[in-house]
Amino acid sequence: LNPMQTQCKNMEPERLKKEFGKDITFWGGGSDTRSILNRGTPGQVKEDVKRRLEILIPGGGYVFNTIHNILPDVPPENIVALYEAVQEFG
């Protein structure tokens, strides 16, 4: 399923993984680019990524990507935090 836009109605990662996780591969949904990645702290970014990975990784069928493209207003330290979180929790 690409894109996986988890802020859209009925696209909650918990529900999607439970209902379709054994049948399809999910692409994206790994970080909220509209509020957390661009406005949060590096710690908030790591927690957001960790929570999403804990939902989407079990059982396989997940390709990490952000919800949308990484926009120009994202602080560089948040991009580093995103990468580090994937390495640590992914």
Q: What is the pLDDT of residues 35-69, one digit of tens each?
A: 899 999 999 999 999 999 999 999 999 999 987 88
Residue 36 lies in a domain: yes
Residue 2 lies in a domain: no
Per-residue HEC secondary structure of 22-66 comes to CCCCEECCCCCCCCHHHHCCHHHHHHHHHHHHHHHCCCCCEECCC
Residue 31 lies in a domain: yes
Domain that holds residue 57: 13-89
**Total domain count, the chain:** 1
Residue 6 lies in a domain: no
Q: What is the pLDDT of residues 67-80, one digit of tens each?
A: 788 989 999 999 99
